[in-house]
Structure 1
Amino acid sequence: MRKLAIGTALSGALALAGLAAPAASAAGTPDLTFTGVTVNKGKPIVVGTTKAVNVPVSYTLTRPKDLVIDQEKTAQGVLLYRGTLKSPDNELGPRKAPVCAPTATTETTVTEDCTETITAVPDQELYEAADAGTWKAAGVYAHSDGSASDDYLHSEYDLTMWGNLASVQIKRAARLTVNAAPEPVVKGRTLTVKGKLTRATWATGTYTGYKGQKVVLQFKADGGAYANVRTITSGTGGALSTTVKAGKSGTYRFVFAGTATTGAKTSAGDHVTVK
């Protein structure tokens, strides 16, 4: 028998689904129910240019009591997809089998709480700007059977998917810098605060300027708390620049709230001594 690893069964499953996946009501399809699907604890998934991001997924699975899911001949899990099940644009699946623990049993069904991890790798699974945005979760059941020898090979593979179980935002990571000058500065003189807003470009593995975005300049006097000074808009290449009158010694920083496709970011602080 061909072993059906969970990574093989689920990663790439959407491509197979577009070809010949049986409908949920097809004969022979087990009665599985995926509920309570939560991706990344309900928070956006923010991905940079090099580091893989591990995304926790939790859900409840109810299955027939007599159905054995061994993650070899039979497998189940949750994956993420962009687009539709019929015509997906991209997908992300777990590389290891989910861990499930029974929580309730009836004469005919077993209910289990399951957890798994989906890994998002920039430039591999995520490689274009369109991958930033809303993704959906799908429950998957796969069954593999067959036999093989030196003289004969036979394989059967069935796949069933249930879409629109949950949604999550995948976003491009942002970087934000700040520099206030001159340092130190005479009280009452003009202080220029500059910085740069960039975001991950998965296709090239670099951070590029993010123009036309609202960024808030904040100031914290020594011993105090941060407060908003003003909002400015990033220019060409993500450049930021504004001026303030030096009044007290303290720290300046920029804050970017994020967008539907780019994660929020707060710069490190730059301390200025006022004489």
Structure 2
Amino acid sequence: MRIRATVAAVSGALAISAFAVPASQAADAATSYKAEAAKIFAAHSGKTAFSTAAATDLGVTFSDLKIAKAIKVGTTNHVATTVTYTLTHGANYDINSSDFDSGPVIYKGSSVTSAENVLGGELPATCTATSDTTATCKGNIDIFPLNEDGTAGDLLNSDAGKWSAGALALQYSTGDYSVQGDLGTTLLQRYSKLTVNAGPEPVAKGKTITSTGKLSRANWEDNKYHGYTNQPVKLQFRKAGTSTYTTIKTVYSDSYGNLKATATAQADGYWRFSFAGTTTTPAVSATGDFVDVR
């Protein structure tokens, strides 16, 4: 699920986009977990017709949330990452009731209740009681960089970087809910690719080997891969028969993400480029390219 505050004016007010709902799952949107969660977060924005004035905090709290340190998202494929947490509730709640659901969320912004963007799960978490008032829960954060109908997905390029994690519990019949943020953090990263081609091959010992390649990363706005410019990338060599790469030198990608580095041929082995990564883009190493030295 997704909600994003935008600056597009609609009847003099800021517009709020609904959580993304794939067409194949849209039929039950009016009563689904996603739809109810969307209302809650949209209402918190203060920019929609939904109101939480009559809603009561369920008194549910969350703790011990665990989420991946980083989530890599490409240009087309659905990405799901598992989140676990502990839910603490009043003894009068039946967590297995069809009237009660919970799920994890991640959000971009200073607060879960006034976030720029919120992402959650297609389905609520599965919670297993551990006592009369506690349960362990496991759910997904589902991310769609591209919707089934080919329209823009959940993310803008500016969304890459640090996100905070939280959780939600809701009661369908009353509209009451509890939401809690600042339970953890993760990085949403634009999936990266790195290539290498070393030559000539074969090459005489003492001659120059030239390695070329390209560092690129996902663009979440046009769903293509573009060069990642002006980034330090290591040229590395692994001698045939060994398992460890050694850094020879560092070069920088050009304005198209292209790479070029030269080195002296000394022995048979594999050449590759290796990128250490940034907060917005994961580390990646090219598959080594073998060069026969004679």
User: TM exceeds 0.5?
Assistant: yes
Change (3 A) 1:258 1:239: same
Moved more, 177-186 or 69-78: 69-78
How far the C-alpha of 1:118 sits from its partner, in A, is 1.5
Residue identity in the other structure for 1:142: L
Asked if the contact 1:173/1:200 (under 8 Å) is kept, the reply is yes
Query: 98, 101, 112: which one pairs with 1:85?
Result: 112
Partner of residue 29, structure 1: 57
1:3 is displaced (CA, Å) by 7.8
Q: Select which of 277, 291, 294 maps to 1:258.
A: 277
1:246 has 2:272 as partner:
no
Check whether the contact 2:58–2:176 (CA below 8 A) recurs between aligned residues. no
**Equivalent-residue separation in structure 2 for 1:238 and 1:69 (angstroms):** 51
User: Structure 1 stretches of 5 or more lacking a match?
Assistant: 146-155
Indicate whether 1:174 and 2:192 are aligned: yes
Q: C-alpha deviations, 1:189-229, integer Å up to 9, x for none?
A: 11111110000001001000111111111101111121111
Q: Give the Å deviation of 1:70.
A: 4.5
Q: Give the whole-Å Cα distance in 1 for the aligned partners of 2:97 and 2:197.
A: 54
The share of aligned pairs that are identical, in percent, is: 35
Which residue of 120, 127, 131 corresponds with 2:143? 120
> How many angstroms apart in 2 are the aligned matches of 1:87 and 1:28?
18
Q: Which protein shows a greater Rg?
A: 1
Structure 1 Cα separation of the partners of residues 43 and 178 of structure 2: 10
Match in the other structure for 1:140: 168
Q: Please tell me whether the aligned partners of residues 4 and 73 of structure 1 are also in contact (alpha carbons under 8 angstroms).
A: no
Q: Which structure has the higher relative contact order (CA within 8 Å, separation 6+)?
A: 1
Cα contact 2:104–2:140 (8 A) shared by 1:
no
- TM-score w.r.t. the length of structure 1 is 0.86
* CA distance in 2 between partners of 1:10 and 1:71 (Å): 17
Residues 7-62 of structure 1 deviation map (CA, whole Å, 9 limit, x = unaligned): 3233564223223446xxx984222110011113xx20000111111110000011
2:73 counterpart residue number: 47
Aligned length: 255
More strand by share: 1
1:96-142 superposed Cα distances (whole Å, 9 cap, x missing partner)? 1211112234xxxx111110112111135433111111111222122
Match of 1:74 in 2: 100
Structure 2 unmatched ranges of 5 or more = 1-28, 148-152
